[in-house]
Amino acid sequence: MGILGRGPTLPERPSRSDRRQRKARPRSGSPVRRDNERRAQTMLLIVMALVAAAVVGVGAFGYYQTTIKAEKESVLRVGDRAFDMGYIERRLRYEIHNAFVGDAVVSDAQSAALTVLVDVRDEELDRLGAPELGISVGEEEIDADIRLQLRVPESTDTGVFAEAYRNEVRESGLRPSEYREVVAARLREEKLKQRFRDQIPATAEQVHLRDILVGEDGLQAVLDRLEAGEDFAALATEVSLDSNSALGGDMDWQPRGALPLVIESAVFSLEVGQVSESVALGGGYYYLYQVLEKATDREVTTDQRQQIEERLYSDWRAGVAQQFPVVYADGDDALRDEQIVHLMEVAVNEGVSAGGG
């Protein structure tokens, strides 16, 4: 004890090794500590960026799956050419906006979807088959028709026509090449119909027919009643599902070349008064025909010429389809349900009735 008594207790002096360990630890605010903090912050930012990218990626993938991929997926293939959903959607909107009252494309959503698919299919079959008949549509013809539709005379300044043309394409919702294809398809169809129309004779062999249309479940009963001697016209009025049942099934005169081949084969060999064997036309329905009159050289009327023209055109297209197969979706023979539903939704959004009610 000193002369001044016990002094304050001082901390022990650290040993050399303790001093070395303390010197090794970074003090607050040292460069090493700041580097560590920066690394931690960087890692946190990277993790946050990865999470954000994952969220955006999920959303982008969903958008790709439901929008981009859906637009690019194959809906219809004719020969080597595929038509994707985006094109079918654009055509559907275009057909709806340019339809007339009573057209199938504006009757209900399902009819709209099926109608545009048939139109695209038939137009492509026409394009593929027309060259064999020597039929083509040139760019000048397309321009002339567009001028006519836009009411822009040939003498009008080209700049005026170009502006009107751009506006028309923009309003159509189609791409320029697609718009021109639609115009070309209409011109090509007119040429094809004229070619078939020119083949129709002024007179033809004809039969005057009655018919009865029944379902499979009622067919045998009708056959039994006819076998028992009941009157064909009376039975047609009573049971036929055809639109002319009120007339006793009277179909008027039918020229050769107007009816489907399976019907022609059944009726043109009959004698007056005879009834045909049942003719199946699909869907579980059957026709029976009775010949009332026959003529070997009867004048073909305007309505009959239209029937024959449609038959020639239809048969020709069927032949083209044998050369250039038509397939839907991914090689199927029909669209997938979700594709039909999607096209129906597009039609409804354009103001077409959903139907079914």
Sole residue written with tokens 């047609």: 236
Can you give the pLDDT at residue 279? 96
Q: Please, where in the chain does CATH 3.10.50.40 lie?
A: 204-299
Least confident segment among 75-79, 194-198, 240-244, 326-330: 326-330
The pLDDT tens digits of the residues spanning 69-116 come to 567 888 999 999 999 999 999 999 999 999 999 999 999 999 999 999
The pLDDT tens digits of the residues spanning 151-161 come to 999 888 889 99
The pLDDT tens digits of the residues spanning 237-267 come to 999 999 889 899 999 999 999 999 999 999 9
Contacts of residue 148, defined as CB under 8 A and 6 or more positions apart, other chains included, come to none
d(CA 236, CA 239): 6
| Topology of domain 74-198+311-349, CATH | Triger factor/SurA peptide-binding fold (1.10.4030)
Q: Which CATH class is domain 204-299?
A: alpha beta
Mean pLDDT for 314-335 is 87
- Beta-carbon neighbour count of residue 167 at 10 Å? 11
* Alpha carbon distances (Å) from 337 to 63, 73, 325: 21, 14, 21
Give the 3-state secondary structure of residue 236. helix
Can you give the pLDDT at residue 292? 97
Can you give the pLDDT at residue 39? 65
The pLDDT tens digits of the residues spanning 2-15 come to 333 333 333 444 44
pLDDT of residue 180 exceeding 90, the answer is: yes
Q: Please, where in the chain does CATH 1.10.4030 lie?
A: 74-198+311-349
Can you give the pLDDT at residue 7? 37
Can you give the pLDDT at residue 37? 62
Long-range contacts of residues 310-315, Cβ cutoff 8 Å, at least 24 apart: 311/257, 311/258, 311/259, 311/260, 312/196, 312/199, 312/200, 312/257, 313/192, 313/193, 313/196
Q: How would you write 273-314 as a 3-class SS string?
A: CCECCCEECCCCEEEEEEEEEEEEEEECCHHHHHHHHHHHHH
